[in-house]
Chains A and B, each alone.
Chain A
Amino acid sequence: MHNVVIVGGGPAGLSAALAAAAAGAPVLLIDSNSRLGGQYWRNSVDELENQNEQHFDLATGLLLINAVKARKEIEVWSEAQIWSATNDEGKNTLRVIHQGKEKIVNTANLILCTGAYDRTLPFPGWDIPGVMTPGGVQSLLKGHGVLAGKQVVVAGTGPFLLPVAAGVIKAGGEVVSLIEANKSRRWVSSFIVILENLSKIKEAFYYIKTISRGKVRAQFGYAVIAAHAADNGELESVDIAKINRNFKVKKVKNIKCDVAAIGWGFTADTSLAGSLGCKQVVAKDESVVVWVDSEQQTNIPGVFAAGEITGIGGSDLSMAEGVIAGIAAAKFVGCKVDISKAHRKRRAKRQRFANALIKAYPIKTGWQLWPNDQTTICRCEEVSLGDLKFSVEELGATDSRTAKLFTRCGMGLCQGRICGRSVVDLVAKELNVLPTDIDRISAVNRPIITPIPLGVLAQGE
């Protein structure tokens, strides 16, 4: 019997596992990847030491990964998918597909570190092969050593665009253009936060050095608003628009590229927490996150959460939260430990930086004018903006849930992970209202967390 079960092997999960184990609690770490490290320290089968190129701080990652592997108190299940989770009177049941079989994990003490994934915005042509997310481009590089294209446009908003552009250059690709939707001066108001988080600035300059070596001109206040395919169906060029503060299009030009890596920050993956009944709230960046108290505990006693699912904030904040969650969970199972002031201070500092990031890289509603009626919004079920509008104007949908039932938008293979947020925004825009928290939270409700083969389901008890 494991005392603490941790889901997710990224910065938060690894930190939590080590903290709980150091406090004396045996740990089961369940991770969906084949290798520990999460998205941030995603790595391939090559000697880890040779993969430094694609990382700013692989050393920290390796330290954590190796420490987790070395600790006898930590058992790791890799390539394990949790398809269902329920909470019944204090007992949490995780139904895990691991090594082709379903395993049932019952635990009263759980730390959820399920991370986040790229946020995408729909625009004409965003479903053309060659239009990717920055995370997709990066995981090809980090996980497989594959460069997605030769001439790459990196666009969207947020600091994550920098490592992706730098990674492409290091791998021998050309970054045709690096396009940031927000103006850099949004940072001015956060001067003090920058000073106390100088390591982050060091990281930014580390990337910028590489990017300027590649003679890339970064453009601020621009966005990719359309993509065009060649005769073979693959990406040939993108339309880049000068946009105003609210993301409304001012002037458009076309540039050639074979890959466009476009990302708009991140969306927390709260499906597992939601299935357990953890309280979810809408964060400042409008993403749905798991509510936690100062000890990283959710509203369910014994269930903790750390990292991006409690609010997008990057790897440093995730590690700080993971440590606290690990200690708190160990304390919960009776270990004699306590969260120190230093731990809390470190988290608070990282949190201020995360808040500044959200302020500096907002996503303004002007994007909702980029797609046209023919633009696909839900790629799984091939639902267009026109279909969504029809469901509102003609069929009388008055919320995104009803629009979804009428159009099957968000009901496909990804269960709305890609389009869910956009659908909530676009339906609300059609209705001329602001999305409610209920709209946003119900859009991430997924009782079947990941698809499960019927044969595996049938064999379970």
Chain B
Amino acid sequence: MKNPDAIVIGAGVVGACTALSLANAGIRVLVIDRGPVASGTTGAGEGNILVSDKEPSPELTLAIRSRDAWFEIDTDIGGGFELEAKGGVVVSRITKGISDLKKLASLQKENGVETIELDASTLQEAEPFISKDVNYGVLYPGDAQCQPMLAAAQIIRAVKKRGGQFIQGENVIKINSNSGSVVGLTTDKNTYSTPIVINATGTWAGEVAKLAGSYLPIMPRRGYILVTSPAPKFINHKVYDADYVANVASGEADLQSSAVIEGTASGTILIGASRERVGFKNDLNIAILRQLARQAISLFPVLTNIQLLRAYRGFRPYAPDHLPVIGEDANVLGLWHAAGHEGAGIGLAPATGELITAQITGNVPFMDPMPFSPKRFKGGEHVAV
């Protein structure tokens, strides 16, 4: 396909979902990635599809739509990526944390998120192995999980069946434009003509914006996940400490971590989540592994004797205001960005694709896309829109 209607750069979950959405709208789409499917941040993710970790905001609206869109995609393409509506349980043990969590949950409820308050006894019912000193939690039945690598691969597979194409192993070196409008792109191997390029390169989106002579402030935030040996299922939901919500919103560079624990279809238990700004540094930080283990055990003492099998790290893409970047570039017409989802890329991917597609095809999007517009960053500055 030398002259596609649109080219998506990046075959992570955001690129895949955007391509599917475009293909479903009848657009001939080509997906290009320098590596295989899910070889960036998607391949290092837990597969979180969360409505619980966002305060009422445009991002929550995006998350709620996206969560439903995941189940629609599951039906649409025939599954195969371990999507599970497992529900999330958020807990807190400190007075301040509990009152904040209560407040957050009631606000979320007003905004359409299903929340169920848990006291000591209902919490023990929901999570029988949770530490006895945890007396308060909120159950979010809407929280879900998938296997993100499989999700990206299955969606790309569907895109191909619907007339799209996927080319891997080509590195985009230039996005070509003429009088401020995209006319195509050049890789290290080929040149393609197209009026529309969608930059879905996650943590590397800033570099790709540069290839079009534009600017996008996306930076990496490193995170670790611990994987244990398979165990009988004793953790029923995604369980996390309320501190996690504060960490997600935090702007501090120092290491932050708070327990996020869940079982998977394969029996292994995943333990997150750490956040640190160390660029793309790829060394193994043992101190973080220990801290994650400590926090996990304090929530589930039974984990003490479970064995750590693997640890992996990834780089979340984040913008200075911690909001995703979804929309047309400020300087180059026909260049669209779908990036900067920080730790929520898996969850927010389908709705991101819908927002992009609606705007490209001139349809009314399900929500006002303005808060996510790349136009909020101008000339290296961060301006509020």
Using CB atoms and an 8 Å cutoff, list the residues of chain A in contact with chain B: 84, 86, 95, 381, 391, 394-399, 402, 405-406, 408, 411-413, 415, 447-448, 451-455, 457-458, 460-461
Q: Apart from A448-B308, A453-B305, A454-B226, what are 6 other A-B pairs with CB-CB below 8 Å? A: A396-B153, A397-B37, A411-B310, A452-B308, A453-B304, A457-B290
In the complex, the answer to whether B307 meets A454 with C-beta atoms within 8 Å is yes
Using CB atoms and an 8 Å cutoff, list the residues of chain B in contact with chain A: 36-39, 43, 149-150, 153-154, 156-157, 166, 168-169, 226-230, 266, 271, 283-284, 286, 289-290, 293-294, 296-297, 303-311
Q: Which residues of A contact B230 (CB under 8 A)?
A: 412-413
- In the complex where A396-B168, A415-B310 touch, is A458 in contact with B290 (Cβ < 8 A)? yes
Closest to B312 in A: A447
A16–chain B nearest beta-carbon distance, Å: 27
Residue pairs across A and B with Cβ atoms less than 8 A apart, 9 shown, are: A86-B283, A95-B286, A395-B154, A396-B153, A406-B149, A406-B150, A454-B308, A455-B293, A457-B308
The residue among A394, A411, A448 with the most chain B CB atoms within 10 A of its own CB is A448
- In the complex where A447-B284, A453-B305 touch, is A460 in contact with B310 (Cβ < 8 A)? no
Closest to B168 in A: A398
Of the candidates A95, A399, A413, A460, the one whose C-beta lies within 8 Å of that of B309 is A413
Could you tell me the dominant secondary structure of chain A's interface residues? Answer: loop
Number of A-B contacts (CB under 8 A): 97
Q: Determine the distance from Cα of A402 to Cα of B156 in the docked complex, in whole angstroms.
A: 14
Q: Which residues of B contact A452 (CB under 8 A)?
A: 307-308
In the complex, the answer to whether B149 meets A457 with C-beta atoms within 8 Å is no
In the complex, the answer to whether A397 meets B36 with C-beta atoms within 8 Å is yes
Q: Which residues of B contact A454 (CB under 8 A)?
A: 226, 228, 271, 293, 296-297, 303-308
Q: Which residues of B contact A406 (CB under 8 A)?
A: 149-150, 153
- In the complex where A95-B286, A398-B169, A413-B229 touch, is A458 in contact with B297 (Cβ < 8 A)? yes
In the complex, the answer to whether B168 meets A455 with C-beta atoms within 8 Å is no
Q: Determine the distance from Cα of A84 to Cα of B293 in the docked complex, in whole angstroms.
A: 15
Q: Which residues of A contact B38 (CB under 8 A)?
A: 402, 405
In the complex, the answer to whether B305 meets A455 with C-beta atoms within 8 Å is yes
Q: Which residues of B contact A405 (CB under 8 A)?
A: 38, 43, 149
A219–chain B nearest beta-carbon distance, Å: 40
A88–chain B nearest beta-carbon distance, Å: 8
Q: Which residues of A contact B168 (CB under 8 A)?
A: 396, 398
Q: Determine the distance from Cα of A409 to Cα of B191 in the docked complex, in whole angstroms.
A: 36
Q: Determine the distance from Cα of A343 to Cα of B229 in the docked complex, in whole angstroms.
A: 45
A398–chain B nearest beta-carbon distance, Å: 5
B8–chain A nearest beta-carbon distance, Å: 15
Q: Which residues of A contact B36 (CB under 8 A)?
A: 396-399, 402
B170–chain A nearest beta-carbon distance, Å: 12
Q: Determine the distance from Cα of A461 to Cα of B294 in the docked complex, in whole angstroms.
A: 11
Closest to B265 in A: A408
Q: Determine the distance from Cα of A171 to Cα of B309 in the docked complex, in whole angstroms.
A: 37
The residue among A402, A415, A460 with the most chain B CB atoms within 10 A of its own CB is A402
Closest to A95 in B: B286
B30–chain A nearest beta-carbon distance, Å: 14
